[in-house]
């Protein structure tokens, strides 16, 4: 047998061993796992095991690299050795893994792998599953997290080149709302003419498109509304920078700016991240796409996973074009479709496929399952929300009586919190016990936001917005007029409000209040000393 034919036998035997080792995956899933190098688009329909594919692919890259598709000739391989490999498919998985360990090709250390997830919950699940597959020590080295959490890590390291200190503050939606309201007030713009929510939405839209205040000024023209937005946007960004603060959109935008302008940061990331994966790619916006492009430049080992039929976040700036155009933007991209559903019955999938088929501008795919037909779907049309609530209660009662179920076997899902009112009312009148899940989120509660504000000011005293939230919480006889005077003095002198408070005796306008202001400043400084010398848990307890 010539050498070429011998190598063909060897590579075929090797791939059959890999297929056997990963036979818990279907054929398309295995194709995605083994496709290691270059751009890869995985179109994963609902319930098709995309998280399993993500976890197995990362694990495979660390353990075996590009071993499946590698066709490097192996000198000295005998026919007997190849025959042994061909027979090894009947061996247990651990013995097959040991054999394949001899043919590892360019494995990647875990710290050189980056995985973007859509939520913190998804990131934690990913880390847990990687921990089970690789061991906690190895899995902990992988960079897995949301776009925002990964970008914060990079900005903490390199953000000084953009004018932010390493202790920069992150503003949530409520903080952003207050900061923009302050900007409107300073610019004497009536919030009835230009509502705060409208300005927030416009600024967020501009940031999603990577348009700075100066970029936006070029397209304002004679539109007075846009001109006002541009003025607020400019002042808002100045306010954020002075406070060394970022809003949620800025976390992505400033990381893009960092990688575009700072060669040290860009070089670090290009060398650091050899393989990049992106989950829920259909829900990314333009700024996130640009970030991914910058991070994957050079190696181009980029895998994106998503489903264009599940894109629901257009209202948050997500653009379906990212996933629809990926294989055009990366012309050499491999496309793998995951269509076998493991979650639903065929009746449910038939209904879903029937609806989805009417979508325009989509990648063609059709979900199927081996789980059987299942129960038929019931559609109930109700005249109004009260009739709907009565129908729900009647169905619960009927099923409890006919199927001997309990109340805890039922869940009622609704789209908006306002829909719960009619359902709760009928449940109460019917004497059916229920538990409402949700309501005000933990981190949106006033007392939690107050504690977070204290910790933010301790970490970054230049954070004027959070300082204003807590300077009179609890009451310290520091009223709105005094706070306004402090703010004006700070702006006039180019310093933070905390600097003014800490040296209140130097300013005639507030000298009469210097005692209680100094007391507040000393409290913050005492907590800062604890931050520098004690564990976070001690700082947290002392702050509360």
Supply the CATH number for residue 57's domain. Answer: 3.40.50.300
Q: Are 57 and 65 in contact (CB under 8 A)?
A: no
Considering the domain architecture, whether residues 293 and 416 belong to the same structural domain is answered as: no
Q: For residue 219, is it within any domain?
A: yes
**260 in any annotated domain:** no
Query: What is the C-alpha to C-alpha distance for residues 198 and 228, in angstroms, rounded to an integer?
Result: 12
Residue 526's contacts (CB-CB under 8 Å, 6 or more residues apart) are none
Does any domain span residue 513? Answer: yes
Do 108 and 27 reside in the same domain of the chain?
yes
Contact, 292 vs 41, CB < 8 A?
Answer: no
Same domain, yes or no: 302 and 407: no
Domain for residue 224, yes or no? yes
Instruction: Please tell me the distance from the alpha carbon of residue 262 to that of residue 281, in angstroms, as a whole number.
Output: 26
Phi, psi of 319 (to 5 degrees): -120, 120
Q: Which residues pair with 335 in a beta bridge?
A: 41
Decide if pLDDT at 332 tops 70. yes
Burial 44-63 (b: 16+ CB within 10 A, else e): bbbbbbbbbbbbbbbbbbbb
Q: Tens of pLDDT along 145-169? A: 999 999 999 999 999 999 998 899 9
Give the pLDDT score at 191: 87
Same domain, 410 and 454: no
∠ CA 235-501-529 to the nearest 5 degrees? 105
Same domain, 422 and 473: no
User: Does residue 268 sit within a domain?
Assistant: no
d(CA 251, CA 480): 31
Residues of the chain with pLDDT > 90: what percent?
Answer: 80
SS3 117: strand
Q: For residue range 394-431, what is the model confidence (pLDDT) as tens digits?
A: 999 999 999 889 999 999 998 877 788 889 889 999 99
CA–CA separation, 97 vs 133, rounded Å? 13
CATH number at residue 178: 1.10.10
Q: Is residue 150 part of a domain?
A: no
Burial class of residue 176 in the structure, from the number of CB atoms within 10 Å of its CB (0-12 exposed, 13-18 middle, 19+ buried): buried
The domain tally of the chain equals 4
Instruction: Specify whether the CB–CB gap between 212 and 227 falls below 8 A.
Output: no
49 and 105: one domain?
yes
Helix (H) or strand (E) holding 398: helix 385-403
Domain that holds residue 26: 3-143+273-354
**In a domain? residue 135:** yes
State whether 310 and 419 are in the same domain. Answer: no
pLDDT score, position 366: 82
Same domain, 15 and 135: yes
- Asked if 126 and 9 sit in the same domain, the reply is yes
- Measured on CA atoms in the order 479, 485, 487, 489, is the torsion positive or negative? negative
Where residue 518 sits, what CATH number does that domain have? 1.10.486.10
In this structure, are 27 and 112 located in the same domain?
yes
Tell me the mean pLDDT in the region 139-143: 95
Q: Are residues 417 and 307 in the same domain?
A: no
Residue 374 lies in a domain: no
Q: What are phi and psi of 389, to 5 degrees?
A: -65, -40
Last residue of a domain, one of 336, 354, 372: 354
Same domain, 207 and 174: yes
For 174-195, how does the pLDDT look when each residue is reduced to its tens digit (9 = 90+)? 999 999 999 999 999 998 889 9
């Amino acid at each position: 047998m010539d050498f070429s034919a011998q190598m063909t036998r060897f590579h075929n035997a090797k791939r059959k061993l890999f297929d056997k080792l990963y036979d818990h995956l279907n054929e398309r899933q295995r194709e995605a796992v083994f496709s290691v190098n270059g751009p890869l688009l995985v179109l994963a329909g609902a319930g098709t095991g995309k998280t399993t594919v993500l976890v197995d692919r990362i694990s495979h890259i660390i353990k075996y690299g590009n071993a499946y598709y590698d066709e490097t000739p192996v000198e000295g391989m005998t026919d007997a050795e190849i025959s042994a490999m061909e027979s090894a498919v009947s061996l247990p998985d651990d013995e097959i893994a040991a054999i394949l360990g001899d043919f590892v090709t360019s494995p990647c250390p875990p710290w050189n792998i980056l995985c973007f997830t859509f939520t913190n919950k998804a990131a934690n699940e990913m880390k847990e599953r990687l921990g089970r597959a690789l061991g906690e020590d190895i899995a902990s080295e992988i960079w897995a997290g949301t776009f925002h959490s990964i970008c914060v890590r990079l900005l903490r390291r390199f953000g000084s080149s953009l004018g932010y200190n390493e202790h920069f503050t992150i503003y949530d939606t409520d903080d952003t709302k207050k900061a923009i309201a302050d900007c409107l007030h300073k610019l004497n713009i009536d919030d009835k003419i230009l509502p705060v929510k409208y300005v927030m939405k416009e600024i967020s839209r501009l940031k999603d498109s990577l348009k700075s205040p100066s970029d936006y000024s070029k397209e304002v023209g004679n539109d007075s509304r846009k001109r006002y937005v541009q003025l607020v946007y400019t002042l808002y960004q100045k306010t954020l920078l002075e406070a060394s603060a970022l809003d949620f959109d800025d976390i992505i935008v400033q990381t893009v700016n960092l990688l575009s302008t700072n060669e040290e940061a860009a070089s670090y990331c290009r060398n650091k991240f050899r393989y990049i994966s992106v989950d829920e790619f259909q829900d990314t916006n333009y700024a996130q796409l640009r970030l991914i492009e910058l991070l994957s430049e050079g190696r181009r080992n980029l895998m994106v996973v998503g489903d264009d039929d599940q894109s629901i976040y257009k209202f948050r700036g997500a653009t379906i074009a990212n996933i629809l155009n990926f294989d055009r933007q990366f012309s050499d991209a491999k496309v793998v479709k995951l269509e076998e559903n493991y979650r639903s019955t065929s009746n449910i999938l038939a209904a879903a496929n029937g609806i989805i088929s009417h979508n325009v501008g989509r990648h063609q795919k059709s979900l199927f399952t081996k789980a059987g037909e299942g129960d038929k779907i019931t559609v109930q049309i109700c005249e109004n929300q009260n009739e709907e609530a009565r129908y729900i209660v009647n169905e619960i009662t009927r099923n409890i009586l006919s199927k001997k179920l309990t109340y805890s076997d039922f869940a009622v899902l609704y789209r908006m919190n306002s829909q719960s009112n009619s359902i709760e009312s009928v449940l109460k009148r019917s004497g059916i016990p229920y538990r409402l899940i949700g309501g005000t989120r933990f981190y949106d509660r006033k007392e939690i936001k107050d504690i977070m504000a204290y910790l933010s000011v301790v970490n970054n005293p230049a954070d004027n917005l959070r300082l204003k939230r807590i300077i009179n919480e609890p009451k310290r006889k520091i009223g709105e007029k005094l706070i306004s005077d402090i703010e004006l003095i700070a702006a006039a002198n180019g310093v933070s409000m905390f600097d003014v408070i800490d040296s209140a005796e130097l300013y005639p306008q507030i000298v009469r209040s210097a005692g209680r202001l100094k007391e507040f400043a000393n409290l913050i400084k005492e907590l800062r000393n604890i931050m520098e010398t004690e564990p976070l848990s001690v700082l947290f307890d002392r702050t509360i």
